Chain A
Amino acid sequence: MNRRFFRLPWRTRHQIGADVDEELRFHLDMRAAELRSLGMPPDAARVEAMRQFGDFEDARRYLNAVDRSTEAAHQRAELMTDLRQDFVYALRKLAAAPAFTVTVVLTLALGIGANTAIFSVVHAVLLQPLPFVQPDRVMRFRFVYNGAADAGAAPELNDFRSRSHTIERFAMYGGKSMNLVRGGADPELLTGVSVSANWFRILGVSAARGRTFADGEDLEGAPHVAILSDAVWRRDFNADPAIVGRAIRLNGNDVTVIGVMPRDRAYPLAAEIWVPLVFTASEMANSRGSRYLNMIGRLAPGVTVTQAERELSQIGASLAAEYPKYYRSFAIQPLPLQTAIVGDIEQPLLVIMGAVAFVLLIACANVANLLLVRASARESEMAVRAALGAGRSRLVRQLVTETMLLSLFGALAGLLLARSGMSALLRLAPGSLPRVTSARLDPMTLGLTMTLAVVTGLAFGLIPATQLGKDVASALRAGSRGIRSRHVTARTRGGIVVAEVALAVTLLVGAGLLLRSFERLLSIDPGFRVDSVLTFRVSLPARSYDSDTAQRTFVDALTPRLEALPGVRQAAVVSVLPLDGSDLTLSFAIRGRPPVPPQEEPASEVLSATPEFFGAMGIPLVRGHLYARDARAGTPKEIVVSREFVRRFFPNEEPLGRYVDLGWYVDGDRRGGTIVGVVGDVKQIALDQDTPPMLYIPYAQAPQPNLRVVLRTNVAPGSLTKPAQVALREIDRELPVFAIRTLGEYVTKSVGPQRFYATLVTVFAAVALALAAIGLYGVIAYAVSQRAHEMGVRLALGATGRRLAAMVVGEGLTLTIGGVLIGIVVSASVSHVMGSLLFGVRALDPITISAVATLLLLVAAVASYVPARRAARVDPLVAMRGD
């Protein structure tokens, strides 16, 4: 079609009509002339010509209609051809500048990918509502006794049930390990929860199979029933469709399975099995001081959280008045379940989201920058094409096609990155990130980030088009050197680089602070020797180990067997390991001191440990001696305390020889003993928390069914896993061994969240640094190439290459210093949001800030030195000649 070669402007409706009329008039004139030449008079000839033509008006209408449709078809065809041309041309253009294309695509991919991955995780963890009926009406309650948060006690369930009107239903729950024994399989320990019977009704969740608990199933004497999680049902029972109604062996009892919960719709999230929480009559009457239970409830219709909070604290106050022996003050605070679950994670996640948003901003700035550089380089190309007759709209379309193509590639690469980033995140995520496993790529986020990328691309990709038509002539004259008078875009580019550097500095300062915190955290002395210790847990089921004696006998049999294993130097048993996330705090009284009211009694962490524990852990004895190996129920009661215990409770007194009575009564006997030794402090709770006072009581005098076995080895600790299990089986075949870990793993795990956040933010900061360096390099390199002429003149006038290089590097550094200064100001004003994430460093840490500034200046110097060298090597003649 000739239109392809010479474009005729599209015809309007009006022009089509005129064309049809002209064609028909020509026909009629020719026919009339022919008839005249046959001798017809002119008037008659015209009439005859019309007669021979037929229905003139009908034909005219028909031709107009057909031609309009023809015209439209041509337009469509040409548009498609143009689009294909644009596309092919754009591809060729992008392929011709691979460095540019790859940089832009990677930049976009990083921005889009990182953001999508992080936002998807944040969405799953923070924003997605819990899968319950009206989840915002479900509250978890914080028990606050005497101003300190704690768990609740059994009688308090009935107190609140009978007195509260703002909460429709209350349920309590407590964690409970459950030993599942199946024929032909190793005994297994499940994460169990005992819950009040109305538990699932409060959540509004029904069972996937069978049913949830019925009223009364949590009363004393009710038949034993249990509900399985989907995971356990699949893993341990092969998804048996007839599981409901089957009896299973749980903690030595026969228990009927009444239901299986749906996946991801159960609470607590980690629970593997639910059993009813049964309170005995004596427990209800006497256990007001025994605080180990949590409580949830559902707000009554129309009640706000504030109203509930007011009523519950009034109830607490009246309870405190009724039971002054237990409460100096008492209140429970309702907290929406979602907030309670997400709690500590919100801030770190928001910080990470901020970091990622910064990366996205930098990525966009970089893309803008690169497009601007390219735009200037293409001024003459655009001018030539405009001069050759390419319409402005055609050029704009060309640029749009190119930008869209770039964005498309970037988005695709970003999608890939987001997917692998997500799986990396899930692998890296500490177990403490709730609901993270339900994270899926969030299409909304992907759409948003992609839109942002495309908009940036379009905004800056179209700049060459805005400069079109202004002065085609001068652009042509300037030739491939481009136009050197464009101070405005040069300033824009400089501004973008300064902004990028500032953002990068802010991120790097954040990352530096987190890294320094993390390093501080790791350099803390935990108080024990981390290396060469293997630990595992054993849980003695109440059925077969119902008495202290049975438990003691077991430990007495176990320790020598373990110590006999080759490679074991010392074997010990303890009730709680440091950094394990569990603890036992008990109040106590020191004999010889005036009695204090119960609520003002001092409290300490209390551990039952065999005397070998201190040697196995490497906890040093500071004064006195350890309790005897052969301590027994009848032998003198002796205990060991930590230095912090002495500091706090015997500030100016001799602790050795003093007798401590613990708030721990067993069968009418009060546990405690004479302090015979002082040992070193241990970071029992967490590395970044205060050292608690510790009290160690001989395991033989205070046995517990939940054992942590500690083996100090002189071989690689992992190699003892199997032999230790075998030794245990020789004593009891039905005992599950679990949580086999080295002590080092506990330390690593305890700093898992900090490691996670520090890693993420550091990765983002590194990306930001790389992007800022690319941006700076682009601007300097471009400035150098644009000023080749000027460089040539300077060289010809006697400037040395070295001086020129110094000048160029100086320009790069000037931009960077501006960015660094702004960045420091910005980070000073935003880093307080990181406050609680930091440990041992201030938000305005001068070391971090100066390190970051130095790093950026170094990177900037390198990024501008590369193009500077090119400037220094310019051949004056070539440069001045121009093209």
Chain B
Amino acid sequence: MASDSLDLLQGTLDVLVLRALVWGEMHGYAVSRWIRQRTDGVIEIEDAPLYKSLHRLERAACIEASWGLSENNRRARFYKLTSAGRRTLRDEERAWRRYAEAVFKVLEPA
């Protein structure tokens, strides 16, 4: 694990995955790439927990999986947000924002 990357809090990865899928269906590799780009490598996520998160979210019916063709014409498993997933994302986002604001209030000089 890279020493300069942050450890992820339990559950945080799920929010990121859900957020990645907002714009449409993606396969696991695309989700992984999207999260790396968006965090500018600050948070380096191993792929193992990412896939665990994907399948866990599928079990919880937040996302649905189906087989499709990738950009290079290979069979890939695509994930898509369900309406339940959108709701979860909205709730989690709100919670995260409030949490982050509270932390910033403490850290920033008054």
Interface residues of A (CB under 8 A from B): 1-2, 19, 22-24, 26-27, 29-31, 34, 52-56, 58-59, 62-63, 66-67, 69-70, 73
Contact = CB atoms under 8 A, between A and B. Distances in A.
B58 interface: yes
18 contacts: A1-B64, A22-B75, A22-B77, A23-B28, A23-B51, A26-B27, A26-B29, A26-B76, A27-B32, A53-B48, A54-B47, A54-B49, A62-B52, A63-B52, A66-B56, A67-B55, A70-B55, A70-B59
Contacts of A52: 46-47
Given A53-B47, A63-B55, 10 more contacts: A2-B66, A23-B27, A23-B28, A26-B70, A27-B27, A59-B47, A59-B51, A59-B52, A62-B55, A67-B58
Given A2-B66, A27-B32, A55 B59 contact: no
A58 B52 CA distance: 10
Q: Could you say which of A30, A52, A58 has the most chain B C-beta atoms within 10 Å of its C-beta?
A: A30
Nearest to B36: A52
Given A70-B55, A73-B59, A30 B48 contact: no
Contacts of A29: 74
B59 A66 contact: yes
Contacts of B28: 23, 26-27
What secondary structure prevails in chain A residues at the interface with B? helix
Contacts of A19: 77
Given A2-B66, A70-B59, A73-B59, A56 B75 contact: no
B74 A53 contact: no
Most buried by A among B59, B74, B76: B59
A635 to B, nearest CB: 110
B49 A23 contact: no
Q: Nearest 10 CB-CB pairs, A to B?
A: A54-B48, A54-B46, A59-B48, A53-B47, A30-B29, A66-B55, A23-B77, A70-B59, A27-B29, A63-B55
A67 B56 CA distance: 8
Contacts of A58: 48
A158 B45 CA distance: 105
Contacts of B55: 62-63, 66-67, 70
B52 to A, nearest CB: 5
B76 A23 contact: yes
A7 B55 CA distance: 21
A266 B47 CA distance: 84
A61 to B, nearest CB: 10
A70 B58 contact: yes
Contacts of B48: 53-56, 58-59
Interface in B46-104: 46-49, 51-52, 55-56, 58-59, 64, 66, 70, 74-77
Interface in B4-62: 27-29, 32-33, 46-49, 51-52, 55-56, 58-59
B104 to A, nearest CB: 31
Nearest to A63: B55
B59 A27 contact: no
Interface residues on B, range: 20 to 34
Contact of B59 (A1, A24, A53, A69): A69
Contacts of A55: 48
B70 to A, nearest CB: 7
A71 to B, nearest CB: 10
A56 B51 CA distance: 10
Nearest to B2: A52
A53 B58 CA distance: 20
Contacts of A31: 29, 32, 47
A116 to B, nearest CB: 47
Contacts of B49: 54, 59
User: Which of B47, B56, B77 counts the most A-chain CB atoms under 10 A from its CB?
Assistant: B47
A62 B50 CA distance: 12
A19 B46 CA distance: 21
Contacts of A34: 33
B30 to A, nearest CB: 9
Nearest to A62: B52
A62 B29 CA distance: 18
A70 B66 CA distance: 13
A765 to B, nearest CB: 61
A24 B51 contact: yes
A2 B48 CA distance: 28
Contacts of A62: 52, 55
A70 B28 CA distance: 18
Contacts of B59: 66-67, 69-70, 73
Nearest to A67: B55
Contacts of B51: 23-24, 27, 59, 63
A70 B60 CA distance: 8
A682 B58 CA distance: 94
A55 B1 CA distance: 11
A808 B66 CA distance: 61
Nearest to A66: B55
A366 B47 CA distance: 67
Nearest to A8: B66
Nearest to A24: B51
A325 to B, nearest CB: 101
Nearest to A34: B33
A54 B55 CA distance: 16
A26 B75 contact: yes
A23 B27 CA distance: 9
Contact of B74 (A26, A54, A70): A26
Contacts of B70: 26, 30
Given A69-B59, A70-B58, A53 B46 contact: yes
Contacts of B46: 52-54
Contacts of B66: 2
A26 B70 CA distance: 10
B15 to A, nearest CB: 18
A67 B77 CA distance: 13
Contacts of B74: 26, 29
A31 B48 CA distance: 13
Nearest to B67: A19
B83 to A, nearest CB: 11
Contacts of A59: 47-49, 51-52
Contacts of B77: 19, 22-23, 26
Q: Name, among B32, B51, B75, the residue most crowded by chain A CB atoms within 10 Å (CB to CB).
A: B51
Contacts of A1: 64
B85 to A, nearest CB: 13
A26 B75 CA distance: 8
Contact of B47 (A27, A66, A67, A73): A27
A68 to B, nearest CB: 10
A51 to B, nearest CB: 9
A729 to B, nearest CB: 87
A52 B2 CA distance: 10
A63 B46 CA distance: 15
A26 B76 CA distance: 7
A408 B33 CA distance: 58
Nearest to B28: A27
Residue among B29, B32, B33, B56 with the most chain A CB within 10 A?
B29
Nearest to A27: B29
Contacts of A26: 27-29, 70, 74-77
Contacts of A2: 64, 66
Nearest to A1: B64
B10 to A, nearest CB: 15
